[in-house]
Amino acid sequence: MFATLQRKLILQFCAALLLNACFSINSFAADPQLKIGSLVPKNSLYHRQLMEVGEAWKKSQASASKFNVFTDGSQGGEAEMVRRMRIGQLQAALLSVVGLREIEPSIAALQNLPLAFRSWEELDYVREKMRPGMEKKFLDKGYVVLAWGDAGWVRFFSKQAAFSPDDFKKMKFFAWGSEAEQQEIMKSLGYTPVPLEPTDILPSIQTGMINVVPSTPYFALASQIYNTAPNMLEINWAPIVGAFVITKKSWDEMSPEVQSALRISSEKAGTVIRSQARKEVEEAVEAMKKRGLQINKPNAEQMKEWRSLSEALYPRIRGKMVPAETFDEVFAHLKNFRASKNP
């Protein structure tokens, strides 16, 4: 009996050794792969820049390698893409704050503060001040930030013309499915959020499930939202801020030479994206105007109402959607910047 058990153990041990050997051979023989997820439209500025990053990474490899850039949300919403990175199905992703806050909640301070930033100059100043600390937080969570970008100002595209905050209380808003806190805040102020994924926006607005889409002009043009929601409120509600991130596990598996090539190409892509995306905001608006988009500009009194709404939102956002410490840091940087411009 003992001899039989001993033979079984020996056979199991040999099988385990063989399996490990095969796994090691396959791992060694496998070509490096880089799978990048995003919601950006195919052939857009953002897609083209991600392709250049992939090509630079591929050229830096000593062996054969493959990369894929998945566009149009084909890998799911941003929360889903973060989940895919965690389990190794994706190595990297270009994400807005919606996805980034799934990794590090404090990043919401750069996007989820309505009417806090008055210009791109203010956003750039605050982001650069917070960048080292923010990147350290992401690294501690297992992600390397390779580049920062943005995609324009959020404006409200609606089926019916609307100018004041009260006008929008009669309508149903698209809301990111993963942002439950934002939905609760909206409801508490008398608005009606409908949680969806970006891929559901167009059919939902066509069927009347939603009437309003907070969107950048570029996305509204690329997705054809403006055809069904032909009214745009001309207000810079908040910037869409994003970053290109890669898992630390994937990063650590790269040689220093490959890391250097990837970081240089990513930083270049981030610079191009920020510069070009800001130009494309007005270009997209002009293109949509030629095709029937109606621009609705709030008057001074209505603008005052919007500012009052944003100020009413801040106490609800602080400590919930944005950690209190980070919320305070943003406004401290803004105060210093404005003081330096207007001593």
pLDDT at 41: 87
- Angle among Cα 14, 16, 18 to the nearest 5 degrees reads 70
State the amino acid at position 75 in one-letter form: Q
Asked whether the beta carbons of 152 and 280 are under 8 A apart, the reply is yes
Q: Cα–Cα distance between 201 and 210 in angstroms, integer?
A: 8
What is the three-class DSSP state of 207?
Answer: helix
pTM: 0.82
Angle between helical axes of 256-289 and 45-59 (0-180°, round to 10): 170
pLDDT at 7: 42
- Angle among Cα 185, 294, 43 to the nearest 5 degrees reads 80
Domains of the chain: 33-341 (3.40.190.170)
Asked whether the beta carbons of 225 and 201 are under 8 A apart, the reply is yes
Average pLDDT per block of 10 residues along the chain, 343 residues long? 38 38 36 91 92 95 87 92 96 95 94 94 96 97 96 94 95 83 87 88 92 92 92 95 97 95 96 89 93 96 96 93 95 96 76
Residue among 284, 274, 300, 306 nearest 128 (CA):
274
